[in-house]
Amino acid sequence: MTRGGNSNRSSPLEGFPWVRRQLILDLALDTQTHEKLAEKYGVSRYSITSFKKRHAVDIDTARVEAEEEFAGILITKKENRLAVYQDQIEQAIHRGDHKLIARLLRQVAEEMGHLPSRVQLTGSVGFQTSYIITDEAGQPIDMKLLT
């Protein structure tokens, strides 16, 4: 779903989050005419104009962020990564792939910092544990006899 709650998969501009984000950046940088952008994305000039109106806030934000070093690298922004996850989750829901949905939701939770950090301990703590296997009478069993 898009931000407004409507899914507009029929439009090539709304079908993939990275296409949507790239057009937002193209409009923010204002280096090409609407006619050139329409050719680039395979849509009409009216579609470009409508997209620009629908995404005016995102375009303004991108314009402000355009000075940043990584503005053109889409995956460096958390919101772009989350948009891709959202798109993948919607596709998995449509296919009924519950395992993929669970895995993607976990990745989103990790991305948002909602999961505790995993701690791995390495090395030794200075003691050793030994086990003695006994029979019913409490006598140790010779493990060599079992092999």
The domain limits of the chain are 1-68, 77-114
pLDDT at position 38, please? 92
Burial class (CB in 10 A: 0-12, 13-18, 19+), 121: exposed
pLDDT at position 5, please? 40
d(CA 82, CA 88): 10
- For residue 94, give every residue at least 6 positions away whose Cβ sits within 8 Å of its Cβ, in sequence order, or none: none
pLDDT at position 27, please? 93
pLDDT along the chain (147 residues), means of 10: 43 81 90 91 92 92 74 73 90 92 90 75 68 78 65
- The residue whose two tokens read 């200075």 is 126
- For residue 76, give every residue at least 6 positions away whose Cβ sits within 8 Å of its Cβ, in sequence order, or none: 70
pLDDT at position 138, please? 82
- The model carries a pTM of 0.43
pLDDT at position 52, please? 94
What DSSP string runs through 76-145?
Answer: GSHHHHHHHHHHHHHHHHHHT-HHHHHHHHHHHHHHHT-SPPP----S--S-------B-TTSPBP-GGG
Which tokens hold the place of 74? Answer: 């889409």
pLDDT at position 130, please? 73
Which tokens hold the place of 52? Answer: 């620009």
Contact between 16 and 87 under an 8 Å Cβ cutoff? The reply is yes
pLDDT at position 67, please? 66
d(CA 109, CA 146): 48
pLDDT at position 114, please? 83
